[in-house]
Structure 1
Amino acid sequence: MHLLLRTLLQLLRSRRRPGLSVWGNSSLPLRVLVTDIDIAMHLNNGMYFSLMDLGRFDLMVRSGVWKLMRSKGRSPVAAGETISFRKSLQLGQRYTIETRVIGLDERAIYFEQRMVSDGEICARAFIATRLVSRSGPVSNEDIIAAFGAPPADLVLPDWIHEWRGNNSLPGTRRPAPHAWQ
């Protein structure tokens, strides 16, 4: 809820920005707001993924994917995320969220996102996403049919497969009981 208004505004702003390919790169300029910081006066670690949502929305809107997804009753959801931090972003500091699709497999579409300030990477994340509809996950065949085939050189790094395998939970139709080992 804390970013709902900001997300809605970004969806409107992105419609006015130049178009791009879903397989291209999005660069979204932002500034660290007072609602983004923690007691240390820098961007709160919990805000990075929320703000990166804005970068993915920007890419989807500007490429036409958002409108197409929504017209078919589809929504993107995060299935897995990992992030590394390098430099803090301070209150009022300008930065960009750089976003690109790095590939897909039978289960997810993968994004690389970077928070960049003054040409330096401050944080980098990898996000596995799914498209879902009321009837369940959308197949990659349907995604490619709607968005076009990815470039031939778009190949997921091997470590992404290992990361997903090591960090995924069972599907929602299988039990996942809680018990500390």
Structure 2
Amino acid sequence: MHLLLRTLLMLFRSARRQPLAVWDSSSLPLRVLPTDIDIALHVNNGMYLSLMDLGRFDLMVRSGVWKRMRRRGWGPVVSAETIAFRKSLQLWQQYTIETRIIGLDAKAIYFEQRMVSDGEIYARAYIATRLVTKAGPVSQEEILQEFGEPPLDLVLPEWIHEWRAASALPGSRTPAPHAWGSSA
């Protein structure tokens, strides 16, 4: 909710920026705001992932895919993400969120995103997303029909498959009981 107004403003502005193909990289210029920082006066670790949502929306809007997704009743959801930090973004610092799709498999669309300032990577994340409707997940065939075929050189790195397998939880229709054990 804390990024709702910022997201709406970004959606409006992205629609007026230079169009991209969905397989292109997008670059979204931003500045660190007081609502982005924590008590240490730098961007809060959890805020990086929230801000990266804006980068994915920018790519979807500028490529025209967002409008087609909404028309079909598709909504994006994150199913897994991992992030590494190198440097801290400070209050009022200018930076860009660099976003690109790095591949797809039968269950997800994978993004690489970077927070970049002065030509240096401050943080990098990999995000697995799904498109869903009220009826369930959208198939890869339907996604490619809307997105178009990916470039031939777009090959999902093998480690992504390993990461997804190692970090996966059971599906939402499969029980996933919580039990740490009895030791306290």
Give the TM-score of the pair, scaled to structure 2: 0.97
Aligned residue runs from structure 1 range 4-23, under 5 A: 4-23=4-23
Kindly state the Cα deviation for residue 146 of structure 1 after the two structures are TM-superposed: 1.2
Partner of 1:61 in structure 2? Answer: 61
State the identity %: 75
- Look up the SS of the partner of 2:132 in the other structure: strand
Q: Which residue identity is paired with 2:28?
A: L
Q: Which residue identity is paired with 2:180?
A: W
Deviations 1:90-142 (A, max 9, x none): 00000000000000001100000000000000000000000000100000110
Aligned length: 181
Partner of 2:86 in structure 1? Answer: 86
Kindly state the Cα deviation for residue 85 of structure 1 after the two structures are TM-superposed: 0.0
Kindly state the Cα deviation for residue 27 of structure 1 after the two structures are TM-superposed: 0.1
- Look up the SS of the partner of 1:100 in the other structure: strand
Deviations 1:129-164 (A, max 9, x none): 000001000001100011100001100111000000
Q: In 2, Cα distance between the equivalents of 1:153 and 1:171?
A: 31
Q: Which residue identity is paired with 1:84?
A: A
Q: Which residue identity is paired with 1:69?
A: M
Partner of 2:2 in structure 1? Answer: 2
Give the TM-score of the pair, scaled to structure 1: 0.99
Unpaired runs of 5+ residues, structure 2, are: none
Runs of at least 4 residues of structure 1 off by over 6 A? none
- Look up the SS of the partner of 2:2 in the other structure: coil
Partner of 2:177 in structure 1? Answer: 177
Aligned residue runs from structure 1 range 153-164, under 5 A: 153-164=153-164
Q: Which residue identity is paired with 1:94?
A: Q
Q: In 2, Cα distance between the equivalents of 1:180 and 1:153?
A: 44
